[in-house]
Amino acid sequence: MLVPIKPLGHGAFGSVHLCYHLDEGLVAVKIVHPENFDAREWKTSISLSKLDQKSIFIRKYLRYYISNNEVLLLIEYSNMKTLELITKHPQIQMPSYTLRALMKQMLEGLRVFHLSNLVHRDIKCDNILLHSPVGSGRVYAKLSDFGFTKKVDQSNEQTYPKGAYQHQAPELFQGPVALSQKIDIYAIGVTFYQLIFHKLPIQGFNRNDYKMKMLQMKRIERPQEIKDDILWDLLSQLLEFEPDKRITAEQALQHSYFTSPEALADISPEQNELAQQAIVAVQKSNTSISEFDKDPTFIVAESEIKKFIQTETRQTQSNQYSDGPNYSESKSLHLYSSQEYNKSSSQSYSSSAFKYLAKYLITLYSRTMTDEQSKVQKDLLEQNMTMEQIKEKLEKFSSLSLLERDVVCVNLIKQLKENKQGYQTAQQLGIFDLLLKILNTFDVDELYPIIYEPIITIIVQVSEEQIKDLVKSGYINWMQRMLISPKAEILWDAVYAIRKTTRLVAAQIDIGKENPLYEELQRNDIMKKLIEIFHSQDPNIKKISEHAAVALGLIFKATKIEGQLGEEIIHYNKQLTKESDPLLSNDSIFALALLAENQENHGIILSGNYAKQINDILLVDTDIKFYIRAIQLSIRLYKLGTREIREQLMKFISISRIEQLSSNKTEMFCYYPINMNEELRQLTSKFLDMVKEQKEER
């Protein structure tokens, strides 16, 4: 769930916004059209997440969502612009200890990146982001933008250059070549050259001019400005024209420029102080501290980078960068107001994801964060409202600004999730009634996901009987109002809310029992409308139809769906398990698991060798949530199925793989929450026990 705070940028790819995510905190959200979404970015982040070694010097891709017309990529937010901030201010002298630490950070990030057998192909100053965690006093350089990333060429297949030509290695100008990580080494050498000399090593008017000059050279000549022989030796090895002689990132980190006694002694008092603070934090059980935070040779003090920011501020006559966290995301992106977004014919967005964000954008073409946006950012990070204060705000909800409404809802969600008595307190104070009044009386155009999320959150706090009481009190009436809207974005939000609510409810109900919402959804025609959306042939709402199919599967828990509709819903959900949207495909498997609670659905579920597809999910190196859903489906089919169904299932299911998952002997499990690992262990053990008991009975 996202709370937009301000726009960060806009370009040919789409737009970027600073948002608050309920689970991730402050994030940068990139919104792109599906046609512009390059899955390599996401796949690269997955490859990096599975490495034994992690790096704080590589930007994290957190998750993505696919809406009706856009893809939303949630990326780690970096608050101090890019490395170009430094390169364009030659009048500011950077101390040697800061330069060395900055270079070490970038090389360490690249070293870990290369461990995953990847080539970045677009390393340049604009793709090295700078981030200072609020209150840390330090800055991290983060390698970002994985759109051109590819695996190292193992088959000697020829490849063509990508990225900025000024950073491309000499071999790339000689025709297509086998892809090698050495092209990244040359690119980071050019980046270091820019960082030190504030210019490129080769000047060219365009790619052809640059190529002609490159082909006439044998090496990059040493600039007269450089006095440090050891530094130049490092740069020359990074900028070596022959790729076989070019050093690796790991070798560069062992260069005497970083390891000599003189280099190790070139440490400022501030670097030492920040390192000591990190050591003390570790002693106080602060798990966010890395080994690099304790090593002064890797520490870049925020005070040094602020010199460049303050100069930038004076030049742009902007106040945005004056106080720590309110730095811009990227210099290369142009900022637009909501009015200007709407005027742009080439970049017009009408679906809910963009509208949900665009409604918050300031109407001034400015880099300045408004006072309200600054306060909202602070309030979202602190989240210190009491239930009484929340009630007071809800009573005058219509007079609050859109951003203020979001702050209230985020605080309420926190209270409901973290406070065991949250539901009872909310009920006693009348907060629940106030929420329902808002949802049932406000225009549906004003009902954004963050407003109804508190109501959905309540579901996981109550018993099955309380759920039924909630339904009787009008819990789902607002969903019906949204479903009859002619606007696609509102229809999308309605189906999303129904899908999420029915999933959360169904997950709490015992196997074999119907969904408590089933009767009420039938009574008030919500089911009828969902079926209508599911059957719609309108291409503009295809994505909504897919989510409606999943919602129907979740609603018909433990129920035999009569007629052709049942086959259609089951077959559609089977197709969706291959969907690129991870949330949708994960929920579709769960929908099939719930439908499998009725034995009469088993034949349709396993038709077309679907058991093999279940096994494929278990075999592939994927998100642990998919393993959980696949095992949940397998358990229901095996436990409730006939002998023929069991045999059909076991013909494809790999017991050795389930045993491996049960023992958590895969490298990826350490990166997931303990409760998720435990759930998978319990489910796999349960399945193995059932299979064992069945064999003993025979």
Q: Amino acid identity of 124?
A: K
User: Hey, how many other C-beta atoms are within 10 angstroms of the C-beta on 180?
Assistant: 17
CA distance linking residue 300 with residue 450, whole number of Å: 38
CA distance linking residue 367 with residue 88, whole number of Å: 19
Sign of CA dihedral 294, 297, 303, 305: negative
**Which residue in this structure is represented by tokens 């390169």?**
87
> How far from 40 is each of 45, 328, 439, CA to CA, in Å?
8, 26, 40
Tell me the β-bridge partners of 150.
Answer: 119
> How far from 128 is each of 158, 216, 255, 333, CA to CA, in Å?
27, 30, 22, 14
CA distance linking residue 190 with residue 253, whole number of Å: 17
CA distance linking residue 452 with residue 463, whole number of Å: 20
Q: Which residues contact 375 (CB under 8 A, 6 or more apart)?
A: none
DSSP letter assigned to residue 351 = S
Is 30 annotated to bind a ligand? Reply is: yes
DSSP letter assigned to residue 318 = -
Pair 542, 66: CB distance under 8 Å: no
**Number of residues written out for the chain:** 698
Pair 53, 115: CB distance under 8 Å: yes
Sign of CA dihedral 497, 498, 500, 504: positive
> How far from 511 is each of 548, 585, 649, 680, CA to CA, in Å?
23, 21, 19, 17
Helices 402-418 and 449-458, axial angle in degrees (round to 10): 20
The two tokens of residue 33 are 């059209």
Select from 529, 600, 526 the least CA-distant residue to 570.
Answer: 600
User: Hey, how many other C-beta atoms are within 10 angstroms of the C-beta on 640?
Assistant: 18
The two tokens of residue 383 are 């989240």
Pair 471, 517: CB distance under 8 Å: yes
Tell me the β-bridge partners of 4.
Answer: 19
Alpha helices per DSSP H over 296-397: 302-316, 338-343, 352-358, 371-382, 387-395
The pairing of strands 138-143 and 177-178 is: unpaired
Q: What share of the chain is helix, strand, coil (3-state, %, to 5)?
A: 55, 10, 35
DSSP letter assigned to residue 294 = S
* Residue stretches of the annotated binding site for ATP: 30
